[in-house]
Amino acid sequence: MRQAGLRRAKRSDLLGLPVEVAPRLLGGIVHTVVEGAGVSVRLTEVEAYHGQGTGDIVDPGSHARMGRTARNATMWGEPGHLYVYLSHGIHSCVNVVCGPEGVAGGVLLRAGEIVEGKDAAAQRRWGALAPGRSTARPDRDLARGPGRLGEAIGLRYPLDNGIDAVTGDPWHGAEARLWLRDEPLTDIATGPRVGVAGAAGTDAFPWRFWIPGDPTVSPFRWGRGAGPIVLN
DNA sequence: AGTAAGATCCAC
DNA sequence: TGGATCTTACTT
């Protein structure tokens, strides 16, 4: 795969704080080959997550906020690997690990546009079109949301957790490669993270980054039971 | 050992 | 708006 204006990510590209790395991933591409099917997604929405000891303040919305555990171990490892976790018992969500080894951090891939392998992605997402469903789902929904993106590119918890997206080395029969823009985007929107409880999901942590106006960006919804925090 | 909540999605 | 579905982490 060769894309104009893009280059393969180097591990050093991902050494910084997640909140600094996240916007540089926008417009980049994650390419996977899983069970023989290649799919590429152009990233349009991401979120930064730190950890205990990462940056000036602890990120209360991070899986790594309490320190290293078996679950979040990948977040503490070498940058450029993918931290894949199970959300709500159903969805495999994907992060690009960043920060130096020994420091927790990652960027959640929240949404993107499938630019290669749409048929394979649609098969994974929806299978054969269900009888009685007359209209095909729009391409924009293939990877519009972190659970949908993970399913579209075929990465699964726990099998693919830890796969290296810098080298692209095979990992349990799958491969993943990360491409970055030669020139990072400059027109980027930021705001509070989606589905994150408490102060971590407010403007106190404007760590969601997206490409303004892109139709594949997920719709913003306040977390369940939460609402906008109105300051006096 | 029991339980509550979770970086979500979909249909009603 | 609520149910699915299961892992993790915290409580007893």
- Bases of chain C with protein Cβ within 7 A: 4-10
Please give the C-alpha separations between residue A124 and each of A89, A127, A143, A167, A171, in angstroms, as whole numbers.
18, 6, 11, 25, 19
How many domains would you assign to chain A? 1
pLDDT tens digits, A213-223: 999 999 876 54
Task: From the CA of A60 to the C1' of C8: give the distance in Å.
Answer: 16
Nucleotide nearest to A66 (CA to C1'): C9
Owning domain of residue A172? 6-210
pLDDT tens digits, A72-123: 999 999 999 999 999 999 999 999 999 999 999 999 999 999 999 999 999 9
- Bases of chain B with protein Cβ within 7 A: 5-10
Q: Which residues numbered 193-232 in chain A sit less than 7 A from strand C, measured from CB?
A: none
In a domain, A77, yes or no: yes
**Could you identify the residue written with the tokens 């407010």?**
A202
Indicate the DSSP class of residue A175: E
**Is residue A78 a contact partner of residue A150, using CB atoms and an 8 Å limit?**
no
In a domain, A228, yes or no: no
In a domain, A1, yes or no: no
The CATH number linked to A63 is 3.10.300.10
In a domain, A188, yes or no: yes
Per-residue DSSP letters for A59-77? -TTSTTTT---TTTGGGGS
Task: From the CA of A39 to the C1' of B7: give the distance in Å.
Answer: 23
Indicate the DSSP class of residue A152: H
**Mean pLDDT by 10-residue block, N- to C-terminus, for chain A (232 residues)?**
87 98 98 98 98 95 97 98 98 98 98 98 86 71 98 98 98 97 98 95 96 95 46 36
In a domain, A184, yes or no: yes
In a domain, A226, yes or no: no
Give pLDDT, residue A223.
Answer: 44
In a domain, A93, yes or no: yes
In a domain, A35, yes or no: yes
Task: From the CA of A89 to the C1' of C7: give the distance in Å.
Answer: 7
The protein residue nearest nucleotide B6, judged by CA to C1', is A88
Whole-structure pTM value = 0.94
Q: Which residues numbered 79-108 in chain A sit less than 7 A from strand C, measured from CB?
A: 86, 88-90
